[in-house]
Amino acid sequence: MNNLLPVPVLLPMLGAALTLILGRRPRVQRLVSIGVLAGVVAVAATLALQANAFGPQTLWVGAWPRGFGIVLVADRLSGLMLTVAALVTLAVLLYSAGQEDDEVKKETPVSIFHPTFLLMCAGVSNAFLAGDLFNLFVGFEILLFASYVLLTMGGTGSRIRAGSIYVVVNLLSSSLFLIALANVYAAVGTVNLAQIAQRIPALPEATQTQLQFMLLVVFAIKAAVFPLSAWLPDSYPTAPAPVTAVFAGLLTKVGVYAILRTQTLLFPHRPLTELLLCVAGATMVVGILGAIAQSEIKRMLSFTLVSHIGYMVMGIALATEAGIAGAIFYTAHHITIQATLFLVVGLIQRVGGSSSLDRLSGLLVTSPLLAVLFIIPGMNLAGIPPLSGFIGKLGLLEAGVQVGTPLAFVLVATSVITSLLTLYAIAKVWNRAFWGTPVAYTKPTPEDEDELPINPSGGPMPRIMVAATFALIGLSIALTVFAGPLYEYATQAARALLNADYVTAVLGEVAP
């Protein structure tokens, strides 16, 4: 038993209620939010260390006997994801605190932003700690409910249109999730993940395939896996920079986490390697081709987000210890890098008045600091050695070569080409936005209504926004410096996922 397990869920919920009460006191509201997320970081790190030292930590909520009620579980995988998510959300919240009053009124009204942001954090934590499918569904719904508000904040036409697409797609996926839950319960009589893992091998092959396919479709929509990813590039770019950063960094990774958890725990002998490798390859190719065709930086990054989901799916599809370890490490890396790049784009908008490459030039002269902020995570995303992106990709490539099938070799080649095209996309932004002669700011067209000309002449960026961005860059560098211990941690997490540690920790000696 570990009574810390509910804290990452309950603390943000209590913080959301308190910040809602403090809606007319924005400074106090910010302090409460920052304090809450700092507490979540501390608890998440403690849970990750305990899981590494003593094995999976479990808590049956309400002191129900094992096998009954709701269980929260923190193993190495969920502990790592929870810690990285908490660090990223804290940095994004600090970044949002640097917005000026006129910007806040349009971008992130604090009376609305802080409660919904904390509620979203509670949903993410609940999803990572959920020990049953229904509680996982509840976690998804909490974070999605909050994300609907955050995505449409400001009420501009483009945000409402993008929010409508996002809401419809996620309502559909939630409905499919409920149908899948009903099918799982009808087949095995429980929604507890450990109990399902014990009972599902006794089902007919056709029933197992049906349940696996339904869950994969649901989580693939949420993770933006091709061909179920068309909604993402149109939904994320219109949101405020802090919202887009946390969406890009976290929300799709919760879907990846769900795929990883269910594939390794519920269907370890049915990896669907061929199908998932094909899907992973298509996700990489379609995403990166979409990225290099864009002239708007936020849309380009949204497409690279889709593309790099393919790397994580590739590791899951290989279904080996090395493949899953690579997927875990790369997920932690990508949460950090993708969030960082979207924060940098927010700064680019402040300095250059736009995020369109057609209206930017000479930012290296205008703001050398901004150039540094962009190039480090940009090169990391492209996988330039010795950065963490290179280490994660190298681990996945080695895992693919170890599997040695023709399809695995095709995916290895595809991932290398995708990485090179990612470098091309980053170089395109660098050449068009940072090189050249600085251009005068031009008035936005109606299509650019979400862009804020805060500092069109290259004025100073708020220190706290720069500090928060540097903090995430520092986290990504830490992933590189401590890549050895972290990759070993990921390998141990992968090893635990492929044996019965989870089931034993949750159910003990309880019969199936």
CB of 314 closer than 8 Å to CB of 327: yes
Residue 254 CA to its chain's centroid (Å): 6
| Rounded Cα–Cα distance for residues 419 and 410 (Å) | 14
β-pairing verdict for 57-60 and 71-74: antiparallel
Cα-based distances in Å from 361 to 24, 123, 219, 326, 408: 40, 40, 40, 37, 41
Q: How far apart are CA 244 and CA 252, in angstroms?
A: 12
Residue 192: DSSP 8-state: B
Mean pLDDT for the stretch of residues 297-317: 94
% of residues, the chain, pLDDT over 90: 59
pLDDT number for residue 39: 95
Determine the Cα–Cα distance for residues 271 and 318; give it in Å rounded to an integer: 8
Is pLDDT above 70 for 440?
no
Q: At residue 388, what is the residue type?
A: S
Query: Residue 411: which pLDDT band, with cuts at 50, 70 and 90?
Result: very high
Point out which residues pair with 95 in neighbouring strands. Answer: none
Distance CA 415, CA 302 (A): 18
Chain segment 442-496, per-residue pLDDT in tens: 444 444 444 444 444 445 688 899 999 999 999 999 999 999 999 999 999 999 9
Q: Is the pLDDT of residue 123 over 80?
A: yes
Rounded mean pLDDT, 219-236: 87
Q: Are 263 and 280 in contact, with CB atoms under 8 Å apart?
A: no
For the chain, helix (H) and strand (E) counts, in that order, are 22, 2
User: What is the reported pTM?
Assistant: 0.91
Residue 25 pLDDT grade (very low, low, confident, very high; cuts 50, 70, 90): confident
Calpha distance 278→484 (Å, rounded): 30
What sections of 133-251 are H helices per DSSP? 133-151, 157-188, 193-199, 205-223, 232-235, 241-246
pLDDT of amino acid 444? 47
Query: What's the pLDDT score for residue 439?
Result: 67
pLDDT given for residue 244 in this prediction: 87
81-112 pLDDT, tens digit per residue, is 999 999 999 999 999 887 654 444 555 555 78
Cα–Cα distance between 82 and 144 in angstroms, integer?
Answer: 17
Which residues, including other chains, have CB under 8 Å from residue 380's CB and lie 6 or more apart? 333, 337, 387, 388, 389, 476
User: 93: part of which helix (H) or strand (E)?
Assistant: helix 76-96
Where does 300-459 show beta strands of DSSP type E?
Answer: none
Is the per-residue pLDDT at 364 higher than 60? yes
Calculate what percentage of the chain has a pLDDT beyond 70: 91
Distance between CA 367 and CA 351 in Å, rounded? 8
pLDDT in tens, 244-294: 888 888 888 999 999 999 999 999 888 888 899 999 999 999 999 999 999
The tokens for 243 are: 């919202």
Alpha-carbon distance 93 to 118, whole Å? Answer: 10
